[in-house]
Structure 1
Amino acid sequence: MNVRERTQQIEKQTLSPYAALSRNTKGRDRPEEECELRTPYQRDRDRIIHCKAFRRLKRKTQVFLSPEGDHYRTRLTHTLEVAQIARTIARALRLNEDLTEAISLGHDLGHTPFGHAGERALNEILPGGFRHYEQSVRVVEKLEKNGAGLNLTKEVRDGILHHTHGQEAATLEGRIVRYADRIAYINHDIDDAERAGVLEESQIPKAITDLLGTSKSARINRLVNAVVDNSQDGQIRMDPECQEAFDELNTFMYQQVYYNPYAKGEEKKVPTLIEILFTYLKNPDHLPEDMKRIAEEEGCERAACDYLAGMTDHYAIRLFENIYIPEAWSHY
């Protein structure tokens, strides 16, 4: 028995009957020889961490565009926070922590530059629309490794696809990530909004803080416990009272931060920038070589979208400046 087989034996002996055992994976699109050390889900986690799209997350906006200061969240730090919250829940429920971590780390790989403002802009101009969770799956299936993709297991791809809207993931591990994503972003966005001076803790309605707590740590702890305490029977959920307060906190954040004209003032520039770049990149002569292959196979609009969605905020701005701003003007 090698290390992987021993790990899978431990999974069978110790994990919940509801857990997705790595030995029972539905597999990959392209069969591979098993690793002697790592389970399939551990290999997926490692492939995601080492891929280019994961590294680019460090320079993609979470909420505040190009903030002044080193302590604001980026798409990468958000991803790491989601992974830690999700792993805590999975371990408490004796579910597969490796699968949960892999889904968490891959859930935002397809996110656009400029946060949800970039996603909305691409959704408006791409025929058929644009959704970052679908693009995340496209990244791991088709765009990484020069078109070969990462060849991840079906369970990881399913969890990535269903981490935010619509149908639930097929595994409980994937459903945990949906909760962990919301728990993470609502609470770290409160923290960032306070840092930016657009929100004070005291503004959060007392009915919410009385139940969930008056600090980031207290709220995360309360929400994580609400999931763990109410998910012992093969379902992932919170108790109704906590879920209602959580939903009210989400609504409050949309009113006070996500639609705040001060916090989001720069976002009005995003649709124009995205549209201009998209129009420019629809010309295959303006695409890099790996995107020209996409253009030939699926059309120039699809290739332009893939290239644009993969950009960091800084790269998109620099490309725009290089194309449209005379070099002499950029020194003013």
Structure 2
Amino acid sequence: MTVRERTEEIERQTLSAYACLSQDSRGRERPEEPCPLRPCFQRDRDRIIHCKSFRRLKQKTQVFLAPEGDHYRTRLTHTLEVAQIARTIARSLRLNEDLTEAIALGHDLGHTPFGHAGERALNGLCPQGFAHYLQSVRVVQMLEKYPEGLNLSKEVLNGIACHTRGPEAFTLEGQVVKYADHIAYINHDIEDAVTAGVLHQQDLPREAVRVLGATKSRRITTLISSLVENSADGALRMAPQVYEQYEALHSFMYATVYVDKRAKKEEKKVDKLIEELYGYFKAHPNRMPGQFQQIFAEEGADRAVTDYISGMSDEFAIRTFEDLFVPRGWSLQY
């Protein structure tokens, strides 16, 4: 028996009847020989961690665009917090932690530079529209190691695609990541907003604070505990009172912080930057890297340019814009 087979046997003996066992995976688009050490979902997790798109998340905006300070979240730190919360829930419910973690680590790989401002800009420019959760699937299916992709399992692909909108993931592990994503961002965005001075603790809805807790740690613990204590028979749910205040907190943030003029003032420039880059590369496809020129030839200009720009980090997008459109000083050489 290999190390992988022993691990799969441990899964059979210890995981819930509602867990997705590694040995029961629906497989990959291209069949592969099993790894002697790692079950399939652990292998997927490792591929995601080592890919270029994962590393670029460290320079992509979460909520606050170009904040001054080292302690604001980036898309990478958000991803790590989602993975931690998701694993805690999965372990408590005896679900497959490797599958849960792989989905969590891959869920935002397709996110644009400049957070949701960049996503809205690309959605308005690309005739096919743009959604980061679908782009994340495209990243792992094709753009990484172009054109082969990472060849992830169908369970991980489905969990990534369903982490935000649309139908629920067909595994409980995928559904856990959707909860974990919401729990993570609503609470760390509150903390970042307080740090930025656009929100004060006393501004939070009183009933939400009473039910969920007055601190980030307390709220996250309450939400996770309620989800674990009330989930049974293959269905995830929170206690009604907790879920009601969880939704109230979301509504409060969307009505205040996410539209705050002080926090969002730099986002007005994002539309212009993305629009100029989009138009330039659409007219000059030879200025894009080779793989995007190939996509240009096979799938058209809009698809290629959208893929290229969505993969940029904030810093690279700004630097590219400056190189293309901002005049530079020069001097005559004698």
Q: Name the TM tier (shorter chain).
A: over 0.9
2:30 equivalent in structure 1: 30
2:151 equivalent in structure 1: 151
- Distance in structure 2 (CA, Å) of the matches to 1:205 and 1:263: 20
1:286 positional shift: 2.0
- The secondary structure found in structure 2 opposite 1:31 is coil
- In 2, are the aligned partners of 1:64 and 1:263 still within 8 Å (CA)? yes
- Distance in structure 1 (CA, Å) of the matches to 2:286 and 2:83: 39
1:327 equivalent in structure 2: 328
- Distance in structure 2 (CA, Å) of the matches to 1:261 and 1:207: 26
1:251 equivalent in structure 2: 251
Match runs of 1:1-332 below 5 Å: 1-282=1-282, 283-328=284-329
- Distance in structure 2 (CA, Å) of the matches to 1:320 and 1:158: 35
User: Quick one: which amino acid aligns to residue 316 of structure 1?
Assistant: A
- Distance in structure 2 (CA, Å) of the matches to 1:240 and 1:139: 37
1:52 positional shift: 0.2
1:226-283 deviation line (CA, Å, top 9, x unaligned): 1111112201121221111011100111122100011111111111111110111113
TM-score (norm 1): 0.98
- The secondary structure found in structure 2 opposite 1:26 is coil
- The secondary structure found in structure 2 opposite 1:262 is helix
RMSD: 0.8
Q: Which runs of 5+ in 2 are unaligned?
A: none
- Distance in structure 2 (CA, Å) of the matches to 1:128 and 1:323: 26
1:35 positional shift: 0.4
- In 2, are the aligned partners of 1:187 and 1:220 still within 8 Å (CA)? yes
Q: Which runs of 5+ in 1 are unaligned?
A: none
- The secondary structure found in structure 2 opposite 1:263 is helix
- Distance in structure 1 (CA, Å) of the matches to 2:261 and 2:226: 33
User: Quick one: which amino acid aligns to residue 84 of structure 1?
Assistant: Q
Deviates more, 1:181-190 or 1:282-291: 282-291
- In 2, are the aligned partners of 1:111 and 1:309 still within 8 Å (CA)? yes
- The secondary structure found in structure 2 opposite 1:264 is helix
- Distance in structure 1 (CA, Å) of the matches to 2:110 and 2:49: 14
1:146 positional shift: 2.4
1:13-37 deviation line (CA, Å, top 9, x unaligned): 1000000000000000001000000
- In 2, are the aligned partners of 1:280 and 1:286 still within 8 Å (CA)? no
